[in-house]
């Protein structure tokens, strides 16, 4: 059970100073640091003493960074006087009020300036967003103009155009159209028969006007019909039959 006694030690402080301390508004950590200074000075009948931050840490339990900020604030308000590590309380309480009022006015002026700058910055940003530079507008307008003026082509037509652009022409009449991949697959499948089949298809298209959606599928269909027992032998004038090696006769020899 705590039982403090004056005989065990006490701190003498003038009532006038104590009364003005009661009217003083400080942050909790500043009060802790100030009371520690009073204890370390008036508690030993001294006006100032060498007080390290480490001592205040041990007595208050605050961290050094908090103590440093509190001391700086107390010094700015002239409540505490520091000469290096020597610290003491400012007994002339009238200086507290004058410096406190001055500090408050400066703080208000600083806050007002900061608010004005932020408001101005916000206004400038909004104007910049609403009124983009002319240099930034031109590419956008050009892009919009391109989109509007471009013809509307369906996906199917686009695919057809792409196919025509990348298909190669084969046969004597250059009318057999195959992708590179399609030609490679046919070559692997039919080997030496492929040139004969392509020439037969080319001749049929040129002479009789045969039309096929896919020349690749047409050549494959010849093999399927042959396996199913279709026409035996291939007429060299009928591209729908599968020609065999040696059956194709060039047009100039007919």
Model confidence pLDDT, tens digit, residues 109-130: 666 677 777 777 777 776 666 6
pLDDT band, residue 234 (cuts 50/70/90)? very low
CA distance 75 to 70: 9
Question: Among the CATH numbers 1.10.10.10, 3.30.9.100, 3.40.50.10800, 3.20.20.70, which is that of 13-128?
Answer: 1.10.10.10
- Whether residue 96 has pLDDT greater than 70: yes
| Domain limits, the chain | 13-128, 157-253
For the chain, what is the mean pLDDT?
Answer: 77
The model's pTM is 0.40
CA distance 238 to 138: 61
Across residues 24-45, what is the average pLDDT?
91
CA distance 177 to 215: 6
Half-sphere exposure of residue 14, counting CA atoms within 13 Å on the CB side?
Answer: 9
């Amino acid at each position: 059970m705590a039982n403090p006694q004056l005989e065990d030690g006490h701190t003498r402080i003038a009532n006038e100073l104590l009364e003005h301390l009661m009217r003083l508004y400080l942050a909790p950590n500043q009060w802790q640091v100030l009371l520690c200074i009073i204890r370390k000075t008036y508690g030993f009948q001294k006006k100032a003493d060498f007080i390290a931050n480490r001592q205040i840490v041990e007595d208050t339990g605050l961290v050094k960074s908090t103590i440093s900020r509190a001391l700086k604030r107390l010094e700015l308000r002239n409540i505490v006087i520091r000469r290096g590590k020597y610290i003491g309380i400012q007994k002339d309480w009238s200086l507290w009020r004058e410096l406190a009022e001055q500090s408050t006015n400066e703080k208000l002026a600083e806050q007002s300036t900061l608010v004005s700058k932020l408001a101005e910055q916000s206004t400038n940003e909004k104007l910049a967003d609403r009124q983009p530079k002319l240099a930034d507008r031109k590419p956008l307008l050009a892009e919009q103009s391109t989109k509007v003026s471009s013809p509307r082509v369906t996906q199917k037509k686009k695919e057809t155009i792409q196919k025509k652009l990348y298909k190669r022409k084969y046969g004597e009449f250059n009318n057999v159209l195959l992708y590179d991949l399609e030609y490679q697959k046919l070559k692997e499948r039919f080997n030496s028969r492929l040139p004969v089949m392509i020439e037969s298809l080319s001749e049929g298209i040129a002479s009789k006007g045969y039309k096929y959606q896919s020349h690749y599928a047409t050549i494959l269909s010849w093999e399927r019909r042959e396996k199913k027992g279709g026409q035996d032998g291939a007429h060299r004038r009928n591209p729908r039959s599968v020609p065999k090696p040696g059956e194709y006769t060039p047009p100039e020899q007919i």
